[in-house]
Structure formats: structure tokens, C-alpha cells
């Protein structure tokens, strides 16, 4: 089990914003943004495409799985569907104010590039058919993605932090930037974690206790050793704990999504400014951009009329929207299973 988290490039826009639910409903309208109505049909498409593609890969049962211990996958998909639509509309309106546009020629060039990658226009159309997606829907979504991408790039450039801001952040947060070596013991139960920690504090060898008790088999065979890592490579709660520890410390049990960890810090050295200024710049830029987007969404006076806590009853014309054809679905399921196997080996 590898607790070094994987860095995935993601768009900096926080789509999971607060939904402002409204008591009064508008017939045929899912939400309104800056006075512009988003039709229920758009919501049905956004939701159906997510549900059908996910269930094609993992089966219907995935919808009732609880992703964060509270909400089911289905409820999260409902929220994502409407939040994506309202956020995109808010950004489109702000882009218009900022004179940021995407031309028809730009969209066509992008479509042509995709067609080339798939083997031509006929292959592209077959791909859309196999995935249950009308061409006009894909083209419109492509245009929106391109517009949001161009908007994100330009706004990020405007919000680039100064060298002084980056240096100040480093000076104020030096403890957060480190290179370390540590070992840990992972168990499911807090009581067990406390018992094991007490044994170590009374003199039992940490490595021996880890080998005999840790459920992280990957590190347990090495006495719990995680090797060398830097800040930002571990899950956040682990990262934050290391930042507070001194060499030789045995931590109180801390909880992550994996269970309870008891950590022994073996080495820790500060990272120099030149090593981390890129990370800091990116962090500050993302914080500034999120603040800017939050303000854009607030100013847009987003109103949500759909109740995301209730199951969606899709009209017949949308039930197969985004649904992968049976033969293609089998291949996709196999690929998803293979991907899951690969990922499980890295945890």
C-alpha cells in the first residue's frame, strides 16, 4: 500500500460550489444564472450522460455506493450535473464581459483534430453513436470546454503572484516544506493504534511492531518504512502531521481514509526556497483563482430549482443519453476492471 498520493492535473475551477436552493420552482427550468435559465432538458442530459457512462463501466450497483460515507454516488452525480451547468454558465457570462470568445473556426479545428485521431469523420460519428451522444451536444460541450480553458488561462495569467508574495508565503510556512524519512503502522481501530503506540513508548521496537501488526503490507515487511518523501506527496492529514513532528517523535494516532496511523519520524530537513517556489506559486495562483471564481459565482446569483436529494426520473427520450452500446460497454468494463487492478497494486 503506497500512501504517496498521485498528482493529477485538474482544472483549477472548483465545480463543487455551494448550491443555492430555491423554494419556488420554474416550470421546465433547472436553474438560473445571472437571469439566464438553464432548461431541465440540459440537466437531464448532464445527469444521464454521467449515470449511463458510469453504469456501463461498473454496473447499476455503483449508484448506491457511498463515496464519502454520507452521500451515494447517484446523489453526487445529481449535484455534479447541476453544478457543472451553473458554473459553466457563470464563467461563460464573465468571459463575455472580459471579451474572451471561441470562434466557430476554432471549434471546427478541434473537431477535425479529434476526427483525425479517431481515423476520420466516419469513425468519429461511429464513436458518438457507440457512446449515445448526439453530435450537436458534443460540439456545444467542446465549445464550452474550449471557452472555459481559454478563460482559465487568461485569468490565471492576470492573477499570477509576485515574487514578493511567493517569498512571504515561504517565510510564513517554512515548516510545511520538508524532505523526510518516516515509518508508520496502519490499523483499522483507534483503540488498537493507541495500544501499539504505548508498547513502542515502553520500549518495544517500532519495526517489529509494524511487521506484526500493520495492515499496510507493502511497508510492514520493511518495518513500516515509507522511505524518503517530500511535503505534498502524502495524503494531507499525514503531510500535516509530519510538518509538526520532530525527529524521533512517535505520533498520536491520526486518521486518514485508510485507517489509523502511528508515525515515527526518522529524518526531516527543510527544503530551500528555490526548490519549492514553483509549488508555492502554483498554490497561490490556484487560491487566487478559486477566490475569483467564487466571487463570479456569487455575483451571478445562481438559483437552483432542482432538488438534488431526490432521485431523478428521466423522461424516456433521455434514458439512453450517453449510454455506451452493449459491445463497446463490455470492452469498457474490462478496461475499467484492469485499471482497478493496476491501481490496487499501488495502494
> Which of 66-70, 83-87, 240-244 has the least mean pLDDT?
66-70
Q: How many CA atoms lie within 13 A of 68 on its CB side?
A: 6
The pLDDT score that the predictor gives to residue 24 is 55
Share of the chain above pLDDT 70, in %: 86
The Cβ of residue 119 has, within 10 Å, a number of other Cβ atoms equal to 11
CA torsion, points 203, 201, 220, 66, in degrees to nearest 10?
160
**What distance separates the 2 farthest-apart alpha carbons in the chain?**
72
CA torsion, points 40, 67, 50, 82, in degrees to nearest 10?
30
- Mean pLDDT for 117-123 is 94
The pLDDT score that the predictor gives to residue 3 is 45
The pLDDT score that the predictor gives to residue 327 is 55
Using alpha carbons, list the distances in angstroms from residue 70 to 2, 18, 25, 74, 204: 26, 17, 27, 12, 39
The pLDDT score that the predictor gives to residue 26 is 72
Is residue 114 scored above 70 in pLDDT? yes
- Classify residue 105 by its DSSP letter: H
The pLDDT score that the predictor gives to residue 242 is 97
Task: Band the pLDDT of 329: cuts 50, 70, 90.
Answer: very low
Angle between helix axes 73-97 and 273-299 (nearest 10 degrees) is 90
Domains and CATH numbers, the chain: 29-158+282-344 (1.10.4030), 178-270 (3.10.50.40)
Task: Measure the CA–CA gap between 335 and 24, rounded to whole angstroms.
Answer: 44
The pLDDT score that the predictor gives to residue 18 is 39
Angle at 251 between CA 247 and CA 253, to 5 degrees: 160
- Mean pLDDT for 193-210 is 98
Task: Measure the CA–CA gap between 263 and 260, rounded to whole angstroms.
Answer: 10
Task: Measure the CA–CA gap between 300 and 86, rounded to whole angstroms.
Answer: 9
C-alpha cell at 26: 420554474
In tens, the pLDDT along 124-159 reads 999 999 888 899 999 999 999 999 999 999 999 999
Amino acid at each position: 500500500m503506497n500512501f504517496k498520493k498521485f498528482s493529477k492535473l485538474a482544472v483549477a475551477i472548483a465545480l463543487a460550489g455551494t448550491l443555492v436552493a430555491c423554494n419556488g420552482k420554474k416550470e421546465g427550468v433547472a436553474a438560473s444564472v445571472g437571469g439566464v435559465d438553464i432548461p431541465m432538458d440540459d440537466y437531464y442530459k448532464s445527469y444521464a450522460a454521467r449515470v449511463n457512462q458510469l453504469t456501463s463501466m461498473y454496473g447499476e450497483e455503483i449508484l448506491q455506493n457511498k463515496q464519502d460515507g454520507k452521500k451515494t454516488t447517484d446523489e453526487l452525480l445529481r449535484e455534479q450535473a447541476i453544478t457543472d451547468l451553473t458554473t459553466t454558465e457563470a464563467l461563460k457570462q464573465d468571459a463575455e464581459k472580459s471579451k474572451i470568445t471561441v470562434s466557430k473556426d476554432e471549434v471546427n479545428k478541434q473537431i477535425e483534430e479529434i476526427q483525425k485521431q479517431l481515423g476520420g469523420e466516419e469513425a468519429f460519428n461511429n464513436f458518438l453513436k457507440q457512446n449515445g451522444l448526439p453530435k450537436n451536444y458534443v460540439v456545444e460541450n467542446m465549445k464550452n470546454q474550449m471557452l472555459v480553458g481559454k478563460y482559465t488561462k487568461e485569468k490565471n495569467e492576470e492573477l499570477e503572484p509576485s515574487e514578493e508574495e511567493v517569498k512571504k508565503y515561504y517565510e510564513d510556512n517554512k515548516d510545511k516544506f520538508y524532505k523526510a524519512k518516516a515509518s508508520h503502522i496502519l490499523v483499522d481501530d483507534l483503540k488498537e493504534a493507541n495500544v501499539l503506540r504505548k508498547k513502542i513508548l515502553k520500549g518495544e521496537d517500532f519495526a517489529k511492531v509494524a511487521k506484526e501488526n500493520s495492515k499496510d503490507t507493502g511497508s510492514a515487511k520493511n518495518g513500516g518504512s515509507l522511505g524518503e518523501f517530500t511535503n505534498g506527496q502524502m495524503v494531507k492529514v499525514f503531510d500535516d502531521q509530519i510538518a509538526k513532528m520532530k525527529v524521533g517523535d512517535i505520533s498520536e494516532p491520526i486518521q486518514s481514509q485508510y485507517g489509523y496511523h502511528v508515525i515515527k519520524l526518522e529524518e526531516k530537513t527543510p527544503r530551500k526556497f528555490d526548490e519549492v517556489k514553483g509549488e508555492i506559486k502554483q498554490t497561490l495562483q490556484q487560491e487566487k483563482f478559486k477566490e475569483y471564481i467564487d466571487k463570479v459565482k456569487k455575483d451571478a446569483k445562481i438559483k437552483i430549482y432542482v432538488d438534488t436529494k431526490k432521485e431523478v426520473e428521466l423522461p424516456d427520450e433521455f434514458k439512453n443519453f450517453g449510454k455506451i452500446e452493449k459491445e463497446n460497454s463490455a470492452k469498457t468494463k474490462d478496461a475499467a476492471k484492469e485499471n482497478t487492478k493496476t491501481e490496487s497494486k499501488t495502494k
